[in-house]
Structure formats: structure tokens, C-alpha cells
Amino acid sequence: LGKQDYKKTRPMLRATRLKAEAKKTALGVKEVALVLAAILVFLLAFYAFFYLNISNELDLDLDPDEN
């Protein structure tokens, strides 16, 4: 709180302090977007791994040279 707050009443000072603390602790849009992007990348990698794994197994099952 700066020097300009000396004329404010005690409840006003308290409200200003609480608002400043809430701003400090609030999650930003950037952080939420980064977490969602990381989860999406992880899910895509997981899906791609199993998709490629299953497609390779199917190719082995359909191998025409197998006797």
C-alpha cells in the first residue's frame, strides 16, 4: 500500500489489501493454457504410440510371405 492510501478508512484499506492478495494468488490464463496444452500433447503421444503399435501388429498378421 502506498502513501496515497493514508486518507482511506480502515475497511477500505483492508479491502484494497485483500484485493491485492487475491490478484497475487490467482491462476492466470497463461498457466491454465500451458497445463491444458501439456495434457493434450501427452494424450496425443499416448494415442499415437498405441495406434502405431496396433498397426504394426496388424501388418505382421497380414504378412503374405508367412508360410
pLDDT tens for residues 40-49? 999 999 999 9
Query: Quick one: three-class SS letters along 3-62?
Result: HHHHHCCHHHHHHHHHHHHHHHHCCCHHHHHHHHHHHHHHHHHHHHHHHHHHHHHHHHHC
Integer Cα distance of 14 and 55 in angstroms: 63
Residue listed under C-alpha cell 504410440 = 49
Compute the Cα dihedral for 15, 20, 22, 23 and give only its sign.
Answer: positive
Instruction: Tell me if the pTM is above 0.75.
Output: no
pLDDT averaged over every residue in the chain: 78
